[in-house]
Amino acid sequence: MNSYVLGFHEIDNTKLAVVGGKGANLGELSRIEGIRVPEGFCVTTEAYKSMVGPNREFNALLDQLLVLKVDDRKGIGTISGKIRRVIEGIPIAGEIEEAILCYLAKLGEEHAYAVRSSATAEDLPTASFAGQQDTYLNIRGKEAILRHISKCWGSLFTDRAVTYRMQNGFDHRKVYLSVVIQRMVFPQVSGIMFTADPVISNRKVLSIDASFGLGEALVSGLVNPDIYKVRGGRIVDKTIPAKKLAVYALEEGGTEEREIEPARRNMQALTNEQVLRLEGMGRRIEAYFGRPQDIEWCLSRGHSYVGDIPPQEVCPRSSEDTIFVVQSRPITTLYPIPDVNDGRNRVYMSMGHQQMMTDPIKPLGMSFFQLLSENYPLRKAGGRLFIDLTHDLASPIGRRIMLSAMMGKNDPLMQNALKGLMQRKDFMKSLPSGKKIFSLRTEGMSGAMFIQAIKIYRQNDVKIVHNLISRNEASIKDLRQRIAGLSGDELFTFIIEDHHKQLKEILYNSQSFGTIMAGVYAAGWINKKMEKWLGEKSAADTLSQSVANNVTSEMGLALLDVADVVRQYPAVIEYFHQAGDETFFEELGKLEGGGVVSKSIRAYLDKYGMRCSGEIDITRPRWNEQPTALIPMILSNIKNFEPNARSVKFEQGRQEAEQKERELLSRLEQLPGGKQKAQKTKKMISVLRNFIGYREYPKYTFIQRYWVYKQALLKEAAGLVQKGVIREKEDIYYLFFEELREAVRTNRLDYSIINERKDEYEVYEKLTPPRVMTSEGEVVSGAYTTGNIPDGALAGIPVSSGVIEGRARVVLKMADADLEEGDILVTSFTDPSWTPVFVSVKGLVTEVGGLMTHGAVIAREYGLPAVVSVENATKLIKDRQWIRVNGTEGYVEMLVED
């Protein structure tokens, strides 16, 4: 057989580059015992290449397409249309036409065929490209088939296909098209089968969509299909809607829509026996491919291939009914499950949602987090870490401790998801017992913490915070001295020991936890009592403004001082628009005022340069490594603020807090027992302002230590580069800690590991991790407990009181934050590195977070109304849309678009 045509029996997954994803999958399906696939063949990508490759007009248009940006819809539409017309106008070469007609004659020219596009970037495990190219049904006659092959080739350049490739980083020149020619089946029923529930992602639940006639009615959305949920040979749920329309084949070719008789509209499209037959086929196909599948199928009565059947039968029930499989592709939307194959039900909680960093973490970053959390059974999935909560949930005591002590303040939606799971009694009974994570002996949760909190509350002495900070500064100085000069195995041993002794001692110090607890307790007491006594919600938010010793809020204000230095030198401002990291300070020093600016930025970096977005991942570039990351925020500060803004903002917040205190005490004194209430409240306000700022310090502590570790490891990486073991220092980020240790010890490494993990990381970046999931892959969502909200508003968690209207700025990366005063920041999540952005905005909306997460703490410190845990906020709120944020009640209203 020539290189232009291959029959299904000649195709397997090694032929992907020749027949595309759809063609390769059909070849594999044809090999599965007991699976019927309509016979056919593929016109290979070699035919496509030989047709379009030499065409000058095609290549010239493709050059124009390559320079367009994904948001240039008009340009994409214009050039793509021209490319399609060129391709469809190219006559099919004689030898290609001969090969196609030769194979068509073997199958029978008199039959009807489906002509389907099959791109090399299609039906892949990581990108489905479903529906991006065209399919044509019931094509009859060799001339019509040849014409539709050209149309399929042209459909590689539909607007949607071009845009999808741009969004997913596929090169137009490296994606080719095969065309599948497949005998038509004229079914009574057809549909789609997912071997994992596409709604909740449960791998044990199979979902079948079914409708009368051809599957086009279902795919195009003409009908609401029957939906059957099947688990382990049992139908667990059915949805049977009215089906008014169906698509049927015409005898002369093509298809048409027809109305279904009223008597049939509410009938099941499939019998229960047929549903279970489909389940068995689906599980067989899934097992063959080794992963969940999205399967297209159709059911024909009595014959393998039949003509146009009038839809008279209520439901096909003959034992001779034949189910054909016409396509199977991987389900690409499922989040991976942790690889714990013990056959027991398990529950996993996202560590990223707890730490306000839902991006994937590179292997070395995972290793460091596992060193810090050795008591937690951490599992890897999709480039993220998950805590195995199974044994805690299996225990009534474990459930209470976990929910009350660890969850609600960080991410209420996660807590609500777990509460919902707990109501499923059969599932809870299936969880195995074992060693729990959370107990009163858990690090940071011991009785010593509560004793310290009471002691600190009674003393109410801010010197406690000063002493804790001084001890940490001394510890960092000692670390730098002890790690200097260490290399090789000594360095790795030292890092592990320092984690176990020094870092854990600092992070889980009972006095440190007690200090935080005292401040949080005071805030909760004030909010509860002021609402009860005075009817005022969230009074502690205003009282928390401009407190002392908040290292994170101070970081944002300190950058205002840097902006004051920069604003004096126009040449520096101009340079900032094209500055690079590698020569940043060198080029800066050549400019007028560059020396002064350099000194100011270096002083800032000395204190805060170890921070960055996603800083819990040690592999993320720090501001010390990428000083240009600060430039957008510095320029924004120059644009939005007058000189000396740091002092003005801090003093304004302090005065508002003092005014709120005077107002509350005055009102309390008018109440029965007011003197005692005012006296108690005054003490609580003092405790709040003395200790609530320290809430941000422990994270700053371990990020400081991470920076020292990282610098030492990068020296080892430089040695590996010099010896040719790795190609660039950053390659070590794709190795786990012990793998890196072994590479340093032996000076050997299989570099393919680095390349594979880089490719995996790109896939992981596109995934959205669930807050909670089970070992069956089920994504468990939490319901909101927020009170009444206006129609159309987005519900969330109120974390910083007040109401503000303004222009929404949807920002996914801090480096892209081009903000003006009065804007409202809308983003996925924030960590301390985002704090400098907060000084320029008037409100905050995030998709992740809770009452005591960093964004909420800093929003209260700066007096910004804030709502967090607003699901899909960055998708539902448009950039520059005018919105209202109600940080008191917890919702966001879309008003008008700018």
Residue 468: predicted pLDDT: 96
**Strands 823-827, 841-846: pairing kind:** parallel
Give residue-wise pLDDT tens across range 545-599: 999 999 999 999 999 999 999 999 999 999 999 999 999 999 999 999 999 999 9
Give residue-wise pLDDT tens across range 76-111: 999 999 999 999 999 999 999 999 999 999 999 999
| Contact between 761 and 362 (Cβ < 8 Å) | yes
- Banded model confidence at residue 131, pLDDT cuts 50, 70, 90: very low
Give residue-wise pLDDT tens across range 139-170: 999 999 999 999 999 988 988 888 888 887 77
- Determine the Cα–Cα distance for residues 428 and 794; give it in Å rounded to an integer: 32
- Banded model confidence at residue 172, pLDDT cuts 50, 70, 90: confident
Share of the chain above pLDDT 90, in %: 66
Residue 124: predicted pLDDT: 45
Residue 440: predicted pLDDT: 54
Average pLDDT over residues 685-690: 97
| Contact between 256 and 248 (Cβ < 8 Å) | yes
- Banded model confidence at residue 706, pLDDT cuts 50, 70, 90: very high
Give residue-wise pLDDT tens across range 456-479: 999 999 999 999 999 999 999 999
State yes or no: pLDDT of 768 exceeds 80: yes
- Banded model confidence at residue 856, pLDDT cuts 50, 70, 90: confident
Quick one: tokens of 577?
A: 């628009």
Tokens 């700066």 belong to 862
Give residue-wise pLDDT tens across range 201-225: 999 999 999 999 887 777 767 778 9
Q: Helical H runs in 403-538?
A: 412-422, 425-429, 447-459, 463-483, 488-498, 504-507, 510-534
Sign of torsion, CA 324 330 332 334?
positive
| Contact between 817 and 636 (Cβ < 8 Å) | yes
- Determine the Cα–Cα distance for residues 781 and 795; give it in Å rounded to an integer: 14
- Banded model confidence at residue 897, pLDDT cuts 50, 70, 90: low
Helix (H) or strand (E) holding 686: helix 674-691
| Contact between 329 and 22 (Cβ < 8 Å) | yes
Q: Residue 689 burial (CB < 10 Å; 0-12/13-18/19+)? A: buried
Residue 441: predicted pLDDT: 55
Of 19, 24, 308, 303, the residue nearest 140 (C-alpha): 308
Q: Which residue has the higher pLDDT, 600 or 125?
A: 600
- Determine the Cα–Cα distance for residues 267 and 283; give it in Å rounded to an integer: 26
Quick one: tokens of 603?
A: 């002083």
- Banded model confidence at residue 304, pLDDT cuts 50, 70, 90: very low
Q: At what angle do helices 697-722 and 551-566 cross, to 10 degrees?
A: 70
| Contact between 188 and 217 (Cβ < 8 Å) | no
- Determine the Cα–Cα distance for residues 488 and 503; give it in Å rounded to an integer: 21
Of 136, 100, 347, the residue nearest 253 (C-alpha): 136
Residue 101: C-alpha distances to residues 674, 693, 728 (Å): 96, 78, 53
- Banded model confidence at residue 502, pLDDT cuts 50, 70, 90: confident
Q: At what angle do helices 551-566 and 631-640 cross, to 10 degrees?
A: 70
Quick one: tokens of 871?
A: 């699901």
DSSP letter at 508 equals T
- Banded model confidence at residue 831, pLDDT cuts 50, 70, 90: confident
Instruction: Out of 353, 391, 499, 854, pick the active-site residue.
Output: 854
Lowest mean pLDDT among 244-253, 415-424, 820-829: 244-253
| Contact between 840 and 820 (Cβ < 8 Å) | yes
- Banded model confidence at residue 508, pLDDT cuts 50, 70, 90: confident
State yes or no: pLDDT of 735 exceeds 90: yes
Side chain identity, residue 834: W
State yes or no: pLDDT of 697 exceeds 90: yes
Q: Model's pTM, two decimal places?
A: 0.85
- Determine the Cα–Cα distance for residues 419 and 403; give it in Å rounded to an integer: 8
State yes or no: pLDDT of 849 exceeds 90: no
The CB density around residue 449, as the number of other CB atoms within 10 Å, is 22
Q: Where are the beta strands (DSSP E) in 678-822?
A: 772-774, 779-780, 794-795, 797-800, 803-810
- Banded model confidence at residue 609, pLDDT cuts 50, 70, 90: very high
Q: Helical H runs in 833-872?
A: 835-838, 854-862
Of 824, 797, 826, the residue nearest 411 (C-alpha): 797
Specify whether 854 is catalytic: yes
Average pLDDT over residues 779-808: 85
- Determine the Cα–Cα distance for residues 836 and 817; give it in Å rounded to an integer: 11
Beta bridge partners of 259: 245
Tokens 């393998």 belong to 304
- Determine the Cα–Cα distance for residues 633 and 615; give it in Å rounded to an integer: 18
- Determine the Cα–Cα distance for residues 371 and 470; give it in Å rounded to an integer: 25
- Determine the Cα–Cα distance for residues 649 and 553; give it in Å rounded to an integer: 11
- Determine the Cα–Cα distance for residues 216 and 218; give it in Å rounded to an integer: 5
Average pLDDT over residues 306-326: 57
Tokens 């194979």 belong to 103
Beta-carbon contacts of residue 246 (< 8 Å; ≥ 6 apart)? 211, 212, 213, 214, 217, 223, 257, 258, 260, 311
State yes or no: pLDDT of 312 exceeds 50: no
Give residue-wise pLDDT tens across range 520-542: 999 999 999 999 999 999 999 99
Phi, psi of 246 (to 5 degrees): -145, 160
Residue 898: predicted pLDDT: 46
Give whichever of 1-10, 330-339, 552-561 has the largest mean pLDDT. Answer: 552-561
Average pLDDT over residues 354-379: 88
| Contact between 444 and 405 (Cβ < 8 Å) | no
Three-state SS at 772: strand
Residue 130: predicted pLDDT: 47
- Determine the Cα–Cα distance for residues 529 and 535; give it in Å rounded to an integer: 9
